[in-house]
Amino acid sequence: MACIYLLTKTSSTNALLVAVVVAVAVALSSSPPVVGCYTSIFGFGDSLTDTGNYMASCLKGVVQCDDEFLKCGIPPYGKTFFHRPTGRCSDGRLIIDFIAEHYGLPLVPPYTGGENVKLGGSVNFAVVGAPALDDTFRDEQGTLTRKDISMKAQLDRFKDFLPSICKTSNCEEIFGRSLIVFGPFGGDDYSSAMSKKDIKEAQLLQPRIVNAIASAIEELIELGAANIMVPGMMPDGCLSVTLTLFYGSNENAYDPTTGCLSWLNEFAQNHNKLLQNELNRIRDRHPNVFITYADYYNAALQLFRFPATYGFHGRTLDACCGSEGPYNVDNSIDCGYPSSNVCADPSSYIDWDGPHFTEAANRWIAKGLLNGLYTNPNITASCDSATVNSL
Ligand SMILES: *[C@@H]1O[C@H](CO)[C@@H](O)[C@H](O)[C@H]1NC(C)=O
């Protein structure tokens, strides 16, 4: 009897959960742009946010490119939306692109090259592979492969750029009407420790990385930033690249409902917890600045928990673009390389190339943030402060 009761209870709880998820998905599926809230967006971060800086710097010889295959700058990257590679690590738009669209703004152009950067408009400083810790640290560790892309380097570039935009109108007004998307950062700092499977080393880095992010946010506030969105880490335990790296782990290491690596997701959640604690401290010190935490972790995890609800089918942990391997990933043959393959319908996949999501997944994550479900405090509240700050 007890057994039957438990079964019934569980399935009705599940049914309720699915109903709630479906309702949320429907509510999220049609949202008109919110025009007039922000007039520009400034982006910082790594490959989750880079809209073309790394590709432009490689092509211009500003940074040393990894190898002959320019990461995220070769086909089939961009195939779904842009129909050409733009340097975005996806088949189409990124989360920051959907944020820009939501506010009725053009997609955020990369700073490097500057061809599309307009005075008073949005600018993106994010770079593929950008670490939170600066070059000095990486140099000491012997892991410095690409200079001048770190979080600090991005801030420096922003500071160089500021006088030019503040010349045409007053700086305070520009900051009052702009949203800064600051991150995510950290993934690339952890990945070198992770690839050595040195989890202890990665754990020890967490407070250091979160402190670095917090100091950078304080610096932005000193410069005048008024509205800041700070993304946390993704559920890295669900990414096909890490699932492949740790392939064949003990059965208990996997979450039975999603197939994600639980300990790695806990690692990400711990980073996010530390980050939110820091954000609370910063809010206390700067009550007039709107700082919202963007919960990329839970926004993305929902997709793995209820894939069919969001239109994802088949093996939902597999990469759409990769090469033969348990999750269609072979960590030595990246997406775009000659013997790699790409799925016919990226919109039915969550994972694009191993470490990055498809446009379809990015769209759902962005919707979850912009709707307020996965931003804390609710991002919609910042529109009022954007108006107030501009007065
Ligand atoms: C966020 O705020 C908006 C506007 O006040 C509201 O419509 C929406 O329901 C809120 N979202 C959540 C998840 O509370």
Domains belonging to the chain, first-starting first, are 36-390 (3.40.50)
The whole-angstrom separation of Cα 46 and Cα 25 is 28
The phi, psi pair for 227, rounded to 5°, reads -135, 115
Give 198's pLDDT tier (boundaries 50, 70, 90): confident
Query: Rounded to the nearest whole angstrom, what is the distance from the C-alpha of residue 231 to the centroid of ligand 1?
Result: 19
SS3 22: helix
DSSP state of 35: T
Q: What is the pLDDT of residue 14?
A: 54
Specify the ligand 1 atom closest to the Cα of 380: 2
- Comparison of pLDDT for 333 and 4, the residue scoring more: 333
The whole-angstrom separation of Cα 132 and Cα 205 is 11
Question: Which range has the worst mean pLDDT, 3-17, 232-246, 256-270, 312-326?
Answer: 3-17
Single out the residue of 154, 122, 152 nearest to residue 57, CA to CA: 154
Q: pLDDT by residue (tens digit) across 334-364?
A: 999 999 999 999 999 999 999 999 999 999 9
Residue nearest atom 10 in ligand 1 by C-alpha distance? 372
Give 382's pLDDT tier (boundaries 50, 70, 90): confident
Question: Which range has the worst mean pLDDT, 81-95, 160-174, 306-320, 365-379?
Answer: 160-174
- The interaxial angle of helices 199-223 and 262-285, nearest 10 deg, is 30
The whole-angstrom separation of Cα 79 and Cα 76 is 5
Q: pLDDT by residue (tens digit) across 288-341?
A: 999 999 999 999 999 999 999 999 998 999 999 999 999 999 988 999 999 999
| One-letter amino acid for residue 54 of the chain | Y
Specify the ligand 1 atom closest to the Cα of 378: 1
Query: Rounded to the nearest whole angstrom, what is the distance from the C-alpha of residue 380 to the centroid of ligand 1?
Result: 7
Burial of 8 (0-12, 13-18, 19+ CB in 10 A): exposed
Give 145's pLDDT tier (boundaries 50, 70, 90): low
Give 265's pLDDT tier (boundaries 50, 70, 90): very high
DSSP state of 110: B
Q: Do β-strands 227-231 and 178-182 pair in parallel, antiparallel, or remain unpaired?
A: parallel
Q: Do β-strands 178-182 and 375-376 pair in parallel, antiparallel, or remain unpaired?
A: unpaired
Q: What is the pLDDT of residue 2?
A: 35
Q: Which two tokens stand for residue 162?
A: 């500021």
The whole-angstrom separation of Cα 275 and Cα 184 is 11
Give 166's pLDDT tier (boundaries 50, 70, 90): confident
Percentage of the chain with pLDDT > 70? 85
Q: What is the pLDDT of residue 192?
A: 80
Cβ–Cβ under 8 Å, residues 311 and 360: yes
pLDDT higher than 60, residue 386: no
User: Of the residues 380, 382, 387, which should be mutated to test ligand 1's pocket, given the most ligand atoms within 8 Å of the CB?
Assistant: 380
Q: What is the pLDDT of residue 253?
A: 97
